[in-house]
Structure 1
Amino acid sequence: MKVHVHAALAAVFAAAVLAAPQAQATNYTLWIHGKNGGGTQIGNYADFSNWGPASVSAGVNKKAVNWDGRQTIGGQNSHVRDALDCFCTGSNWCYIAVHSAGDLQIGYALSLYGGTARYKKNATPNSSGVCGNTDGTTQTGWNIRWIDVASGAGGGSELADDGEWATSDPIVGNLVTTTARGLYDHNNTRSLWFYMFAGAKGTLYSGILPGQDDEAVAYHSTGGVAGSAGGAYCNPSDWLCNDLTTGSGACEGNHAKWSFHTVDFRDDAEAYSHSGNGNWEGIVSKVRADVATYAL
């Protein structure tokens, strides 16, 4: 289904540009990273050091949305909103790709700020990553086509619950499963689709992370399963727990997904791990390939 949705959106956009070239609309692809130890340059949209070589194809006019991945979601979300204001307002539109806690960042921005007035910006950022106004007018929310999510941590991780991340970084508190799920209304996506890519190459923490996992986040989170706490969800080959279904329908056992969340890729072969290893690897590789194909 996603292929047809992406193709249809691309066709609609192309038709709109041909019909009204004077609008000079530009598409951008924003990449929002997850929890990390710092090192990326906040405000530098060309710094892809968290992801891998910037020369790799990763969507039209790609931009790296950098934030301090050690700090809280709420405390750093302004950097995400700066990027959305810069590139996703006025006549410009965005595709969004996120990894891990980047899922929390875009969900937080949309739920809490997606209905607010945003100044239309000129897509020319200063050194802090803030763009100037165009004509002083505003719009409601941002121009976003869809969101691809690599191993989304929107539902938190039991590694945070159990103290496996032995660090004082404030973000760990946000990743406790009940905290992450209560941080904002995950159903309020402003009617934008979240395409979930769930990895399952996890063995190290199999006793802590329920069901299938990628060694950092379990299927209940990477699959966008709704609820106030996580549960155990697996591939169909595993008879010991309920299946994480593909698509937007309820999982086995009638466990619903959040609104506008659909599982685009489920790692039935257990081949994709959580980390991109700074080289577009793991589950990030699946999203990168998808974005390179459809973010045009």
Structure 2
Amino acid sequence: MKTILALCLLLASTLASAANYTLWINGRAGSGANGTPGNYNDFSYWGPSSTPAGVNKKAVNWDGRSSIASQSGRVRDALDCFCTGNNWCYVVTYSAGDLLTGYTLANYGGTIRQQKNASPNAAGVCGNSGAGTQAGWNIKWVRAAAGAAGGSELSDIGAWTTSEPLVQDLKTSTARAMYNHNVTRSVWFYMYAGARGTAYSFVLPGQDDEVVAYHSAGGVAGNSGRSLCNPGDWFCDDLRLGTENNQGGSSKWSWHSVAFRDDGEDYNHYGGGNWGGIIGVLRGAVVNTAQ
């Protein structure tokens, strides 16, 4: 009887310690407010922290300017903290955060990690839980708004400060060759592509949100960007929903699926410090699914 009671108490303790978290990984830093790296409660990059954004939401802040390789440690710290042991994560990315997340999973998602206690210090690092190690992280899915894992032609033409390391990484040829985009550790990437492009539409091929074209936001494979549009556009092939090959035969990367295509051309790239643009579409989906 004592043995059974002890096992029941152990099971209850294990279940009680299990939790789901929603990690928000920002994109390139703008001129407005940006979150403090290491502070998982600072949502100033996105908008009011009181806005619903998934269960146990955490802001995985990085500087938004440095190279992808140098900032991957920020993501690894967060994944170690909240996505090991009995805890599971929903991962939400935006723009260059998609490139950063893909790079991290491809290069480190199979490595052995210490299981952590989900109690970060001021630097965003958690202590070991004492429960041992595991391979990679517990991730339910990744959802990406305006995903820039395929790069942006704005980097190609020097539309941003060219000395910025992140801008160099965001060149289309560099981003696409940076890691094997088909390696996601069997985690699905659900893509949300905006199409309200204006200012730079002459540079970005096909449909775009002013910063990222459909070829990147739609997770389309290949060595360079191609022109893809909404159905009914006579001048380029359709970006198709789900995992289906696009019109003309181009395919998505493995484990990538288009969840939202902006057929109405209603959403641009910018959140405006208030969860706006294509970020708002993504947030709505996260609230309904990250529970």
What TM bracket, shorter-length normalisation? over 0.9
Q: Is the 8 Å Cα contact of residues 14 and 86 (structure 2) preserved in structure 1?
A: no
Count matched residues.
279
Instruction: Say which is worse superposed, 22-31 or 124-133, in terms of deviation.
Output: 22-31
Q: Tell me the secondary structure at the aligned position of residue 50 of structure 1.
A: coil
1:161 counterpart = 2:156? yes
1:278 counterpart = 2:291? no
CA distance in 2, matches of 1:179, 1:167: 14
CA distance in 2, matches of 1:133, 1:208: 48
CA distance in 2, matches of 1:188, 1:136: 28
Q: Tell me the secondary structure at the aligned position of residue 92 of structure 2.
A: strand
Deviation track 1:4-55 (CA, whole Å, cap 9, x = no partner) reads: xxxxxxxxxxxxxx99963631000000000114842110000000000000
CA distance in 2, matches of 1:154, 1:166: 19
Describe how 1:208-223 pairs up with structure 2 within 5 A.
208-223=203-218
Instruction: Say which is worse superposed, 19-28 or 188-197, in terms of deviation.
Output: 19-28
Describe how 1:25-36 pairs up with structure 2 within 5 A.
25-36=18-29
CA distance in 2, matches of 1:203, 1:168: 25
Describe how 1:168-183 pairs up with structure 2 within 5 A.
168-183=163-178
| Aligned residue among 73, 79, 90 for 2:85 | 90
1:22 counterpart = 2:21? no
Q: Offset of 1:203 from its aligned partner?
A: 1.3
Instruction: Say which is worse superposed, 160-169 or 19-28, in terms of deviation.
Output: 19-28
CA distance in 2, matches of 1:71, 1:242: 34
Q: Is the 8 Å Cα contact of residues 22 and 290 (structure 2) preserved in structure 1?
A: yes
Task: Name the amino acid aligned to 1:27.
Answer: N
| Aligned residue among 214, 223, 226 for 2:221 | 226
Instruction: Say which is worse superposed, 162-171 or 206-215, in terms of deviation.
Output: 162-171
1:243 counterpart = 2:238? yes
Task: Name the amino acid aligned to 2:92.
Answer: A
Q: Is the 8 Å Cα contact of residues 209 and 218 (structure 1) preserved in structure 2?
A: yes
Q: Offset of 1:247 from its aligned partner?
A: 0.6
| Aligned residue among 30, 33, 42 for 2:37 | 42
Q: Tell me the secondary structure at the aligned position of residue 144 of structure 2.
A: strand
CA distance in 1, matches of 2:131, 2:43: 31
Q: Offset of 1:246 from its aligned partner?
A: 0.4
CA distance in 1, matches of 2:34, 2:50: 19
Q: Offset of 1:249 from its aligned partner?
A: 1.2
Task: Name the amino acid aligned to 1:153.
Answer: A
Residue aligning to 2:49: 54
Q: Is the 8 Å Cα contact of residues 161 and 167 (structure 2) preserved in structure 1?
A: no
Deviation track 1:51-106 (CA, whole Å, cap 9, x = no partner) reads: 00000000000000000101001011100100000000000000011000000111
Instruction: Say which is worse superposed, 20-29 or 243-252, in terms of deviation.
Output: 20-29
For structure 1, the residue ranges without an aligned partner over 5 or more in a row are: 1-17
TM-score (ref. length: structure 2): 0.93
Q: Offset of 1:165 from its aligned partner?
A: 1.2
Task: Name the amino acid aligned to 2:106.
Answer: S
Q: Offset of 1:133 from its aligned partner?
A: 0.2
Q: Is the 8 Å Cα contact of residues 23 and 91 (structure 1) preserved in structure 2?
A: no
Q: Alignment identity in percent? A: 60
CA distance in 2, matches of 1:209, 1:163: 13
RMSD, matched Cα: 1.4
Residue aligning to 1:292: 287
Residue aligning to 1:67: 62
Q: Offset of 1:128 from its aligned partner?
A: 0.2
Q: Tell me the secondary structure at the aligned position of residue 58 of structure 2.
A: strand
Residue aligning to 1:126: 121
CA distance in 1, matches of 2:38, 2:12: 34
Deviation track 1:203-250 (CA, whole Å, cap 9, x = no partner) reads: 111110000000000000000000111000000121100100001111
